[in-house]
Structure 1
Amino acid sequence: MRIQHLFGIALILSSISGAAHAELMVGGSMPTLPGGHPISQFAANAQGAAAPIRQIVGAATQLDGPSNISYEPSEGLLYVSDYWGQAIRVFPAFASGNIAPLRVLNPAILGQPRGNVPIAALDELIVIAGNCCIYTYPLHASGSSVNRIRSISWGGGSSGVTQLNNPDSLIWIPQTDELAVVDYDFGNFAAKIVFHSRLSDGNAMPTRVLKSAHTANASGVAHDPLQHKLYVLTFTTEDNLAFNAQVRVFADSASGSDAPLYSIEGPATGLAYTFQQYPTGIGLDLRLQRLMVSIGANGDPTTNRVVSFDLAASGNATPVQVLTGTSLSSGTVGAPFAVPIDTIFANGFDN
């Protein structure tokens, strides 16, 4: 058994057992508006346009486009990919209000970061950088002159073999020590899930690729390491006016044209949307056993939405929670994630 497997599972189990339940959090982006963008947390029983129970917000945060955020449980930190701010900003996970980041990682080569994965046991922070590549930095690095530990390069050009084009939605699979991203082919734009060894460096070939009609229009991926499942967010349309999002659930060993184990889709799911919206992310809450999908506004923030399902849901399932509107974002809501509310209460916050 790989040492990374042991580290990863130990961290997952400790983060689940350390709190009875968690609450959904989201960031987002609004680059044309002043004042930056908050990170907001909502109660597990909140519905509709409910107000957040806390926010990290204000000029001191330096947040501009925090669309992808990871919670690191052993450190109690949030690692925020600030897309428009071109930085990784690190905050105490249970903080509130107008606070400055603990540290900022912003080398010029980082560009506009997307998904990130902090791995405390390995002292690494892995991030999608420059809309093209996967970089690994020391976990506790800060400043603008930090060297990368490794980099998986863009797959374009005559000699590129990484199959990275415009990657998004980064995950780490500890059992196989692989990274995976959503991406699409050059030329025909066929969507796929691309897997690389965490230790890959440079112009490295993927360990596997999951690509077929089942991954068409993939826009996000999440991983349950305990059930060994991949949750892939996709969508379909017949007229480019009305759209239906789906969650296709695969074994986390899937590759090639493997079919999903099952899907969540249908009119009861609340995953239909119009051309004025688009899917912005997918996340898991392993404490509450929920699957969370965000549908972002494209111009009208009242149409932002986060739809949550029981993690065991399948087929035409009814959501357990639907949050809507400008409470999620005054711009476009980002990818959802979860932070344990129990720990917040223990640190002096109240519901």
Structure 2
Amino acid sequence: MTCRIALMITALLGGLVGADARADVFAGKTCEPGCNLYRAMTIFGDAMTGDTAPLSLLGGPNQSGMLDATDLTYDAGERTLIVSDFYGQKIHIFSRDSRGDVAPLRSFSNVFLGQPRNVAVAAAQNEYIVIDANFIFAFPRGASGAATALRMTSYDPALVQNLNGLAYRSSSDEIFVGDYYDIGGGQYAGEILIFPRTIAGAPVTTRRIAGPATQMGSWIADIHYNPSTDELYVLTGANDGSGSVLTFAAGANGDVAPIRRIAGAATGMVNAAGLGFDDNSNELLVASGSFNAAPPHMLGFRVLPLATSHRVATSAARTLGLTARRAGMTWSRCRCRTCSPMASNNSEIASARCVFFCHMRACRSGKNGRRTAGCRVPSEWRCRSGTA
């Protein structure tokens, strides 16, 4: 590995499963000598900060089958890590516990799938949604080898320019896709295109978020949907290297202002190109420093209220694709006026996972399930528990 920057840095934080309140952060596109191959992912702990070495690696030149670990998605239901191999023109699926230069569980490709950008999991339909620069595909969740697409869109250069960033919203059965459009004078602006999951043939949108009020910059670097808050996080880029993280209501449409915005020199974002969300720590993760613009960093921003960032310097790693995992514990989330006594113990209710949903106030459950005074959250949220 080397300290040189790869061509692009992105991050996607997926499902969280684990034996404690911690997560592993997988950073893709690890740079090999010469930075012309990126066949491995580096793995960090979610609380790491500063110039720190990774915990371990996944992938390599011999067994992994990867050429370019461009983007990562965690499939919580299958407990697998899905890797978009941009230059290899394949999708690889690894066990979440895989380490070292090992073969994936399976890989698949398609004659029409050029360089895959992103994958989203539609668990209820047992599908993978995949995008490349121009097309949207649906594949069976168990796809392997030369896979036949269940559906795909047709080429429409009037609507689709260069797709990048993908998220799925199960409640409305929609997908969010990042793109940009020509605003004249050789300038472009970012946009979010919303399609039904079942889109096939002509790519007709159901909604579109775009316009000056959105402040989406020149392009969309990455997007992430948070089902807990029904919000869409959008990482944007501009020609001067600056970036921003914008928050929109998932049902937004048209030229609308973001609900929240993280931007400015103090954020440390320089040519940021990857975005993820860790609902275990309630942090947005941004991969910064692509295109040799600056030393690569992962920046963490606390959500509601927003706070200053902390950074992990990926001294020997390229970060393209972040995902996190926890496994096999009982968990709970405060998502209601009154915390439910269903959770396994009071300490979990008071944990950091609940702080966000209670507006940064600890939400504790007694035998009657009453909340701590001052724990104010929207009435439609609930406190629920389960197992990963």
Q: In the alignment, which of 297, 308, 312 is matched to residue 318 of structure 1?
A: 308
Q: In the alignment, which of 276, 291, 300 is matched to residue 298 of structure 1?
A: 291
* Bigger relative CO (Cα 8 Å, ≥ 6 apart): 2
Give how far 1:266 is off.
Answer: 3.1
Q: Distance in 1 between matches of 2:258 and 2:72?
A: 27
State the partner residue of 1:309: 301
Q: Distance in 1 between matches of 2:140 and 2:246?
A: 33
Give how far 1:93 is off.
Answer: 0.9
* Matched-pair contact (CA < 8 Å) for 1:19–1:287: no
Normalized per residue, the structure richer in helix is 1
Q: In the alignment, which of 225, 230, 233 is matched to residue 231 of structure 1?
A: 233
1:51-91: CA deviations, max 9, x gaps? 11121022211221112110011111011100011100010
- Indicate the SS of the match to 2:280: coil
1:117-160: CA deviations, max 9, x gaps? 1233311111013x11110011101112x21111123321xxx5
Extract unaligned runs of 5+ from structure 2: 1-14, 330-388
Match of 1:226, as an amino acid?
Answer: S
Matched, 1:126 2:122: no
- Indicate the SS of the match to 1:268: helix
Q: Distance in 1 between matches of 2:97 and 2:114?
A: 27
Give how far 1:19 is off.
Answer: 5.7
- The two structures have a TM-score, normalised by structure 2, of 0.73
State the partner residue of 1:169: 165
The 5 A counterparts of 1:138-153 are 138-144=140-146, 146-153=147-154
State the partner residue of 1:349: none
Identity, % of aligned positions = 27
State the partner residue of 2:343: none
* Matched-pair contact (CA < 8 Å) for 2:193–2:209: yes
- The two structures have a TM-score, normalised by structure 1, of 0.80
1:291-340: CA deviations, max 9, x gaps? 0111233247x7111111112243xx311x311243322xxx31322222
The 5 A counterparts of 1:93-108 are 93-108=96-111
- In angstroms, what is the RMSD of aligned CA positions? 2.4
Tell which deviates more after alignment, 89-98 or 25-34. 25-34
State the partner residue of 1:53: 55
Give how far 1:229 is off.
Answer: 0.9
* Matched-pair contact (CA < 8 Å) for 1:270–1:318: no
Q: Distance in 2 between matches of 1:39 and 1:313?
A: 31
State the partner residue of 1:23: 24
Q: Distance in 1 between matches of 2:140 and 2:194?
A: 21
Q: In the alignment, which of 62, 66, 70 is matched to residue 67 of structure 1?
A: 70
State the partner residue of 2:223: 221
**Structure 1 residues 154 and 311, CA, compared in 2 at 3 Å: closer, same or farther?**
farther
**Structure 1 residues 141 and 19, CA, compared in 2 at 3 Å: closer, same or farther?**
farther
State the partner residue of 1:44: 46
1:136-189: CA deviations, max 9, x gaps? 011101112x21111123321xxx5xx222101110011111101110125743
State the partner residue of 1:269: 267
**Structure 1 residues 101 and 261, CA, compared in 2 at 3 Å: closer, same or farther?**
same
Match of 1:180, as an amino acid?
Answer: F
Q: Distance in 1 between matches of 2:234 and 2:38?
A: 30
| Larger gyration radius, structure 1 or structure 2 | 2
* Matched-pair contact (CA < 8 Å) for 1:164–1:194: no
State the partner residue of 2:324: 338
Q: In the alignment, which of 171, 174, 177 is matched to residue 181 of structure 1?
A: 177
State the partner residue of 1:192: 191
Give how far 1:34 is off.
Answer: 6.5
**Structure 1 residues 338 and 291, CA, compared in 2 at 3 Å: closer, same or farther?**
same
- Indicate the SS of the match to 1:116: strand
**Structure 1 residues 34 and 67, CA, compared in 2 at 3 Å: closer, same or farther?**
closer
Extract unaligned runs of 5+ from structure 1: 1-13, 344-351
**Structure 1 residues 165 and 38, CA, compared in 2 at 3 Å: closer, same or farther?**
same
Match of 1:167, as an amino acid?
Answer: L
State the partner residue of 1:207: 206
Q: Distance in 2 between matches of 1:322 and 1:125?
A: 32
* Matched-pair contact (CA < 8 Å) for 2:192–2:209: yes
Match of 1:311, as an amino acid?
Answer: V
Q: Distance in 2 between matches of 1:17 and 1:342?
A: 5
**Structure 1 residues 18 and 182, CA, compared in 2 at 3 Å: closer, same or farther?**
farther
